[in-house]
């Protein structure tokens, strides 16, 4: 195997990436983490966010992921995503629509539990929009 970390990003629709890279930063549910060659094995769930892949030449590629799992093994990093795409396919308009829908859901919430859940969803989407805006130099809110 060539020097570096073998990565595969897989969504139900397609194989998004299969390559050997220097490092990968991933949005775990407990926070972002970085994986490099010979990383200790572990498995975790993913939150909506952006994966940054640093190639062996030092360039960076960004991918959007919506949930799923990351499995680090001696063979490399496998990301099984609910949805995944290159950042160039990320839709700011779709995200804005989801934020508006979450705001409406929060306004309709009747019980404290419903309000809490709706607020958590809205906050996660707003955080995602902030991250996307930082990556592109624009604001999406």
| Tokens found for residue 40 | 């200790």
70 with 99, same domain: the answer is no
Tally Cβ neighbours within 10 Å of residue 127.
13
Report the distance separating Cα 100 and Cα 90, nearest Å: 17
pLDDT top residue among 92 and 26: 26
Report the distance separating Cα 23 and Cα 108, nearest Å: 43
Q: Is residue 141 part of a domain?
A: no
76 with 118, same domain: the answer is no
For residue 45, the enclosing domain spans 5-88
Q: Would the pTM of this model clear 0.85, i.e. be above it?
A: no
- Band (pLDDT 50/70/90 cuts) for residue 139 is very low
- Band (pLDDT 50/70/90 cuts) for residue 130 is confident
Whole-angstrom CA distances from 120 to 19, 103, 105, 138, 140 are 35, 11, 11, 24, 19
């Amino acid at each position: 195997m060539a020097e570096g970390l073998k990565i595969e990003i897989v969504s139900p629709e397609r194989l998004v990436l299969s390559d050997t890279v220097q490092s990968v930063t991933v949005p775990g549910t407990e926070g972002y983490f970085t994986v490099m060659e010979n990383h200790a094995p572990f498995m975790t769930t993913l939150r909506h966010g952006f994966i940054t892949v640093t190639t062996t030449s030092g360039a960076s590629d960004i991918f959007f992921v919506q949930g799923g799992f990351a499995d680090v093994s001696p063979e490399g990093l496998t990301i099984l995503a609910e949805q995944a795409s290159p950042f160039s396919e990320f839709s700011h308009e779709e995200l804005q629509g989801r934020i508006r829908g979450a705001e409406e859901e929060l306004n309709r919430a009747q019980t404290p539990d419903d309000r809490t859940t709706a607020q958590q969803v809205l906050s996660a989407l707003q955080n995602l929009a902030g991250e996307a805006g930082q990556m592109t130099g624009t604001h999406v809110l």
